Amino acid sequence: MDDKTMVSDALVGANGELKMFGDMIPQTENKELKQTLKQMRNACEMSQEKLYELARSKSYYVPAAKATETEVQHVKSILTQPAMK
């Protein structure tokens, strides 16, 4: 397995863990568990950021082009329209 594949797999795993924490944290009523999950999520976010920077520095990951102002305004207009009945 090459470096690019390993970094990509690690990023996918970290992103999955972050989603898992995002699902679990609001569902627990136990304050100590909630705090522990938040600490674990924060550590996972830091690892994910390091992996992302590594992937970017080695050109393993190239982010999508930034949206134009027209595209941003279009999405904003869609999201701020009143819901249709």
| Element of type H or E holding 15 | helix 3-24
How far apart, in Å, are the Cα atoms of 12 and each of 24, 29, 69? 18, 29, 30
pLDDT, residue 44, reads 97
Q: How far apart are CA 36 and CA 18, in angstroms?
A: 14
Q: Each residue of 34-74: pLDDT tens digit?
A: 999 999 999 999 999 999 999 999 999 888 899 999 999 99
